[in-house]
Amino acid sequence: MDFANLENVSLRDANLGFASMRGAYLIGADLVGTNLTDGDLSGANLQNANLTGSVMLGIDLRGADLTGTNLQEVNLRNARLERAVLRGAKLDFADLIGAKFCNTIMPNGSVRNDDC
C-alpha cells in the first residue's frame, strides 16, 4: 500500500502489523485501536488522524507528518521518529520508551535530537 490515498478512511481496530504504507496519504484517518506493530509509515501524511490506543511498537515514522494527530495512549515503544513532525499532536499517556528522535518537531514546536 505504498503511497496509497487513504484520506478519511476508517481502519479502526485493524491488524496492520508489518504493513508497508510508506508515503501513504492518511489525513483524517480513523485508526483507533489499530495494530501497526513493526509497520512502515515513513514519509506518510497522517495529519489530524486519530490513532488513540493504537499499538505501534517499532513502527517506522521517519519523515512522517503527524501534525494535529491524536496519539493519546498509543504504544510507540522503539518507534523511529527521526524527522517526524508532531506539531500540535496529542501525546497524553503515549509510551515513548526507546523511541528514536533526531530533528523531530515536537507538539510544542521544539526540536528533539536525542538520537542524532
CA pair distance 113, 40, nearest whole angstrom? 21
**Cα-based distances in Å from 111 to 2, 19, 66, 67:** 28, 28, 14, 14
| Percentage of residues in the chain having pLDDT higher than 90 | 97
pLDDT confidence bin for 1, thresholds 50/70/90: low
Tell me: the pLDDT tens digits for 71-113?
999 999 999 999 999 999 999 999 999 999 999 999 999 999 9
- Claim: this prediction has a pTM higher than 0.75: yes
- The structural architecture, per CATH, of the domain 1-111 is 3 Solenoid (2.160)
pLDDT confidence bin for 3, thresholds 50/70/90: confident
CA pair distance 56, 90, nearest whole angstrom? 15
Annotated domain spans of the chain: 1-111
CA pair distance 88, 23, nearest whole angstrom? 20
CB 55 within 8 A of CB 38: no
